[in-house]
Amino acid sequence: MATLGFIGTGNMGGALARAACKSIPSDQVFLANRTVEKARALAEELECRVTDNEAIAESADFIFLGVKPQIMADLLAEIGPVLAKRESRFILVTMAAGLTIARIQELAGGNYPVIRIMPNTPAAIGEGMILYACGEGVAQTEEKVFLDAMAGAGRFSPLPEKLIDAGSAVSGCGPAFVDLFIEALADGGVACGLPRAAAMEYAAQMVLGSARLVLESGKHPGVLKDAVCSPGGTTIQGVRTLEEAGFRGAVMDAVIAAYEKNADLK
């Protein structure tokens, strides 16, 4: 049974540790965090173990690097000498936006096997979209162990590494775009007289249901949109208003802006 070590148990590292504890025995999951109380509180909830960066680097089979991209160099400089002494097999799992597998290896000081993932915040409730690329030297059997252990985080999709930044601009950043949309829908409902809580619930459940309909029916969103727009009806007037405001162009520009910003992080 593989052991998973999480260095950095913030929003994303914490969400992934939570997912891991759904699929593998929690005594196989180890947490370390700069502010140790944060790791301790999560470990208490998940009934897994707290340790430190060095111990994870020394012994975990999968070492999750859950720190911000700008902290990665310092973290890998700290644990690099420990990794260099290891005799047992291990895999580094990076979730850092903008940092390539080659850059992680360079910072870690060795050609270690790396899995690069791009998760999103819905992973915290098991509904994540997690893109991943396996670096050279990651065996198929190891990829399977990884996917089985992390299945509780949501849907996984392998992607060539050169497309991870593009995927990240859609599914990694997308929750923020969709949250804006949900808030705006609810604001519209409040403007029309709905109580705030009801407007929020209607908007969020509608987005959830519409997304599931796209995935489960396999139909193009244009076809699903047409099914709501009766001739001469009310919905098509809302669609016209969004088109006039440049809604689709604005959403495309948001994805492209996020993608371009990723390039600056390198």
Tokens 């162009």 belong to 249
Residue span binding ligand NAP (CB under 6 A) among the ranges 63-71, 141-149, 183-191, 250-258: 63-71
Question: Which positions from 169 through 228 interact with ligand NAP, judged by CB under 6 A?
Answer: 172
Residue span binding ligand NAP (CB under 6 A) among the ranges 11-19, 40-48, 206-214, 226-234: 11-19
DSSP 171: I
Report if residue 266 touches ligand NAP, rule: CB under 6 A: no
Name which of 164 and 199 has its Cβ closer to ligand NAP. Answer: 164
Burial level of 197, CB count in 10 A (0-12/13-18/19+)? exposed
Question: Which positions from 91 through 120 interact with ligand NAP, judged by CB under 6 A?
Answer: 95-97, 118-120
Report if residue 9 touches ligand NAP, rule: CB under 6 A: yes
Among 42, 58, 62, 66, the residue binding ligand NAP under the rule CB under 6 A is 66
Q: Give the separation between CA 51 and CA 39, rounded to whole angstroms.
A: 9
DSSP 67: S
For residues 115 and 135, the answer to whether their CB atoms sit within 8 Å is: yes
Name which of 69 and 201 has its Cβ closer to ligand NAP. Answer: 69
Among 2, 22, 41, 69, the residue binding ligand NAP under the rule CB under 6 A is 69
Among 7, 18, 154, 130, smallest CA distance to 68 is for 7
What is the token pair recorded at 16?
Answer: 């992934």
* Amino acid sitting at position 257: A
Note the residues at the interface with ligand NAP (CB under 6 A).
Answer: 7-13, 32-35, 38, 53, 66-69, 71, 75, 95-97, 118-121, 172
